Structure 1
Amino acid sequence: MTGRVVITGIGVVAPSGIGADAHWKCVLAGQNRIGRITLFDPDRYPVQLAGEVADFDALHHADNRQVVQTDRWTHLGFAATRLALADAGLPEVADDPYGYAVTLASSSGGNLFGQRELQRLWRGTTRTVGAYQSIAWFYAASVGQLSIRHQFKGPCGVLAAETAGGLDSLAHAARLIRRGTPVVLAGGTECPLSPYALTCQLRGGLLSVCPEPDRAYRPFDVAASGYVPGEGGAIFVVEDLDHAVARGADTIYAEVAGWGATHDARHTEQRGAASHGGDVGGGADVDGTQYGRAIRLALTRADIDPAEVDVVFPDALGVPRYDRSEADVLRTVFGQRQPPVTTQKPLTGRAHQGGAALDVATALLAMRHGMLPPTAGPDRPAPGCELNFVRESRPRRVDTALVCARGFDGFNSAVALRRGPVEVSRWQRT
């Protein structure tokens, strides 16, 4: 094998739609999919909005036995994996089990399942939990279930770096491929929407309490007031280039050309719970030194000059001090030649590692369709947040894309994607 790593399959299950085509149409149309939480009654909470996957039926993607043993977060992973494998033209059950692996990111685990079981423990007459509580909530549950279901017996693992994990998983998949595993599932899904999970996020003080779906999540905007939680994400088939060519892969979206991961060595500063009117915009400036270093590492390892980057997908937290810091970093890295910047998180919510994976899916689709997707804001950039935002979708050949993510408590990651290698361009759809 050459050690060159490419992405041959995309599986999207997100508020923007089920399937890559549905997601892309939503992105191009700028359709906001944030609404009132329906997975539980949010009346008692100051945050009542989220991005949910509409009309999702887990039984369309897994059998009843698998569904009752697992959490919605894993159900979303079942669906995204099936879509990714079908897109890549690979069988659902591995023909060479030890040639396939799973390396996904995770943050909160199966909290809806855990919430239900813990309520049964403390409120029910039996004072017990179900037998599957011990595995359904576990942060590695999706990796284990997918490995079993699809018979992927290569070196599997899970990465926990909050949003940054969605990009770290691609980097780890590339390492596994270079060590000899031809096919790896990467990316991640998330469902941080239960009373317990929402309470944990409220504690961080960075959630938006704005009740208007179209204004609640406004990164880089003068009206930025925090982020809105979201569920879903994307899973990818990551493959050795020679393996993809040898089997006649129908589509090679892009090469995972370079990546960088750093850490700030400090906790995310809390600003007080949103229910107490915490000032998400106050406080000292955020140090973006290590975030910038992760971006430069990704570009250097990809042998991509900053001037060659066609589009940047930023972290876009929607917290003023973080937005200013991110804008400063991008200006420092790219200098006078600022690349187009676009984010779709205000349409779907922030799905932690699933959100970073969804950004990768959008970048891959931009390459495939030769189109820069419009950014979902800002309407009025805040002082210090003036970047080269993509205001309207427009045709453009996208050869290189940079996806960036900052995880809570100091994780930073960036992945540089390069359009499918020239020598295999014949496999790409036009």
Structure 2
Amino acid sequence: MTASAVVTGLGLVSPIGLGVQDFWYSARVGKSGIDRITRFDPSRYPSRLAGEIHDFSAEDHLPNRLLPQTDRMTRLALVAADWALADAGVVPGELPAFDMGVMTASASGGFEFGQDELRRLWSKGSEYVSAYQSFAWFYAVNSGQISIRQGMKGPSGVVVSDQAGGLDALAQARRQIRKGTPLIVTGGVDASLCPWGWVAQMAGGRLTTVDDPFRAYLPFDRDASGHVPGEGGAILILEDEHAARARGAKVYGRVAGHGATIDPKPGSGQEPGLRKAVELALADAGVRPDDVDVVFADAAAVPELDRAEAAALRAVFGEGGVPVTAPKTMTGRLYSGAAPLDLAAALLAMEEGLIPPTVNVEPLDEYGLDLVTDQPRTAEVRTALVLARGHLGFNSAVVLRAAD
């Protein structure tokens, strides 16, 4: 019998709250964390808004020896992993090291650490560059640092598929559970709000240049002009269901299905791959479209991409056939951290029976979506679909089902 993978712990670091309680309090009432950047002076750049995490001090959570060797994203990820394990009631030192693994996603690596070391190289010389630069910038560093800190020696790795990576990492973690590893730490955290990271994000051509925080990130809206970036994400504890229930763990929900596709070559005239990813995820989960209670949208806020996502949802669910929400309008797009945070929001929506809103958006009728806007919506949520797309054509979809 195939092992079922369940989520037993959440560790959340976001622009609208640190930890499950603070995040969910803000998300359920539509509190936005988007504002003008404060981590550097953005006045010289055309895009000046971001979802920043405030009131986070790594020194309060991590030993001093880790600080010189870690980027901000890794510090956030390490703390989120600590919180997720505590939430799951797991003490890693009490478990066999090879029964635990780490599978995270990354979209950028440690940009801020790399920027600082390059500045030293240019201004002072190579002898001033930290030896930690050899790994602190690397995509896999969060997986590596979490596994070292927690003593986890089981299957581990990193998935790099831009903003779809968080869902793909969860799917890879689920595969390892099915292969026999009892526990995998998964999810994603990104943090590239520094000048070097900012220029890299702007090069993608999808950042809005609107300065009004309430009119900047508007997916499915007439005034959609690109997204607002953010920092943070979520770390989740994934376990074999039998093992989790045997130790009396709280189960947030089950990872029931996953589908991933790549868009065809631009100009080919072929249909984008998101619809197929959704259909694959539903088939993997063994559920019908009318079983789905809510969709957490990718919500690119680029008109062409919004149209493609809306078309995929209409094709699968029918016009207005399922409630759709995009709580990332409160946080900005957190790159590899965005979809894991949506997964956490979906699980919390199941727990409370409340769909968080898409803030500030007035959806166009032509999209044919039942978008939850302005206020949260009371609903029984037993099955949720979470979508994510990455630059250059990555598509991923995950179906979550409530715990029995």
Aligned to 1:131: 131
Deviations 1:299-318 (A, max 9, x none): 01101100010000010011
1:407 maps to 2:390: yes
SS class of match (1:397): coil
Aligned to 1:114: 114
User: Contact 1:2–1:241 at 8 Å: present in 2 too?
Assistant: no
User: Contact 2:16–2:331 at 8 Å: present in 1 too?
Assistant: yes
Residues 92 and 63 from structure 1, CA distance in 2 versus in 1: closer, same or farther, beyond 3 angstroms?
Answer: farther
Deviations 1:189-238 (A, max 9, x none): 00021111111111121100001111111111011100011000001000
Aligned to 1:182: 182
Question: Mapping of 1:256-267 within 5 angstroms?
Answer: 256-266=255-265
Aligned to 2:42: 42
Residues 286 and 115 from structure 1, CA distance in 2 versus in 1: closer, same or farther, beyond 3 angstroms?
Answer: farther
Deviation at 1:345, TM superposition (A): 1.3
Question: Mapping of 1:264-275 within 5 angstroms?
Answer: 264-266=263-265
CA distance in 2, matches of 1:353, 1:201: 13
Aligned to 2:90: 90
SS class of match (2:104): strand
Match of 2:358 among 367, 370, 375: 375
SS class of match (1:223): coil
Deviation at 1:352, TM superposition (A): 0.7
SS class of match (1:93): helix
User: Contact 1:16–1:348 at 8 Å: present in 2 too?
Assistant: yes
Residues 364 and 300 from structure 1, CA distance in 2 versus in 1: closer, same or farther, beyond 3 angstroms?
Answer: same
CA distance in 1, matches of 2:25, 2:147: 31
Counterpart residue type for residue 255 of structure 1: R
Residues 14 and 286 from structure 1, CA distance in 2 versus in 1: closer, same or farther, beyond 3 angstroms?
Answer: farther
TM-score by length of 2: 0.96
Counterpart residue type for residue 74 of structure 2: T
SS class of match (2:7): strand
Deviations 1:159-185 (A, max 9, x none): 000111110111111100010100001
Aligned to 1:388: 370
Count matched residues: 403
Match of 1:335 among 274, 296, 318: 318
User: Contact 2:319–2:369 at 8 Å: present in 1 too?
Assistant: no
User: Contact 1:94–1:150 at 8 Å: present in 2 too?
Assistant: no
User: Contact 2:319–2:368 at 8 Å: present in 1 too?
Assistant: no
Deviations 1:358-410 (A, max 9, x none): 1101000001111122222422x235323101233232221000000111111
Match of 1:317 among 300, 307, 327: 300
Question: Mapping of 1:244-323 within 5 angstroms?
Answer: 244-249=244-249, 251-266=250-265, 288-323=271-306
Aligned to 1:213: 213
Counterpart residue type for residue 123 of structure 1: S
CA distance in 2, matches of 1:106, 1:286: 31
CA distance in 2, matches of 1:288, 1:83: 41
CA distance in 1, matches of 2:269, 2:224: 16
SS class of match (1:417): strand
Deviation at 1:72, TM superposition (A): 0.3
Aligned to 1:280: none
User: Contact 1:2–1:242 at 8 Å: present in 2 too?
Assistant: no
User: Contact 2:264–2:270 at 8 Å: present in 1 too?
Assistant: no
User: Which ranges in structure 1 are unaligned for 5 or more consecutive residues?
Assistant: 268-283, 423-430
SS class of match (1:341): strand
User: Contact 1:286–1:325 at 8 Å: present in 2 too?
Assistant: no
Deviation at 1:14, TM superposition (A): 0.6
User: Contact 2:264–2:271 at 8 Å: present in 1 too?
Assistant: no
User: Contact 1:93–1:149 at 8 Å: present in 2 too?
Assistant: no
CA distance in 1, matches of 2:184, 2:126: 43
SS class of match (2:210): coil
Deviation at 1:346, TM superposition (A): 1.4
Residues 172 and 418 from structure 1, CA distance in 2 versus in 1: closer, same or farther, beyond 3 angstroms?
Answer: same
RMSD of equivalent CA atoms: 1.7
CA distance in 2, matches of 1:197, 1:91: 35
Aligned to 1:197: 197
User: Contact 1:217–1:224 at 8 Å: present in 2 too?
Assistant: yes
CA distance in 2, matches of 1:152, 1:180: 15
Aligned to 1:273: none
Counterpart residue type for residue 157 of structure 2: G
1:356 maps to 2:339: yes
User: Which ranges in structure 2 are unaligned for 5 or more consecutive residues?
Assistant: none
Residues 395 and 382 from structure 1, CA distance in 2 versus in 1: closer, same or farther, beyond 3 angstroms?
Answer: closer
Counterpart residue type for residue 169 of structure 1: A
SS class of match (1:214): coil
CA distance in 2, matches of 1:175, 1:206: 33
Counterpart residue type for residue 62 of structure 1: L
Deviation at 1:245, TM superposition (A): 0.9
Deviations 1:93-133 (A, max 9, x none): 35211000000000100000000000111012666311111
Counterpart residue type for residue 384 of structure 1: E
CA distance in 1, matches of 2:342, 2:28: 14
Deviations 1:9-47 (A, max 9, x none): 011001011011111111112111111212222221111
SS class of match (1:217): coil
1:153 maps to 2:136: no
Question: Mapping of 1:99-110 within 5 angstroms?
Answer: 99-110=99-110
1:142 maps to 2:125: no
Structure 1 moving runs of 4+ over 3 Å: 125-128, 284-289
Residues 126 and 418 from structure 1, CA distance in 2 versus in 1: closer, same or farther, beyond 3 angstroms?
Answer: closer
Deviation at 1:337, TM superposition (A): 6.1
Deviation at 1:2, TM superposition (A): 5.0
Residues 337 and 209 from structure 1, CA distance in 2 versus in 1: closer, same or farther, beyond 3 angstroms?
Answer: closer
Counterpart residue type for residue 257 of structure 1: A
Q: Quick check: 39-48 or 65-74, which moved more?
A: 39-48
Q: Quick check: 140-149 or 35-44, which moved more?
A: 35-44
CA distance in 2, matches of 1:63, 1:85: 18
Deviation at 1:68, TM superposition (A): 1.3
User: Contact 1:327–1:384 at 8 Å: present in 2 too?
Assistant: no
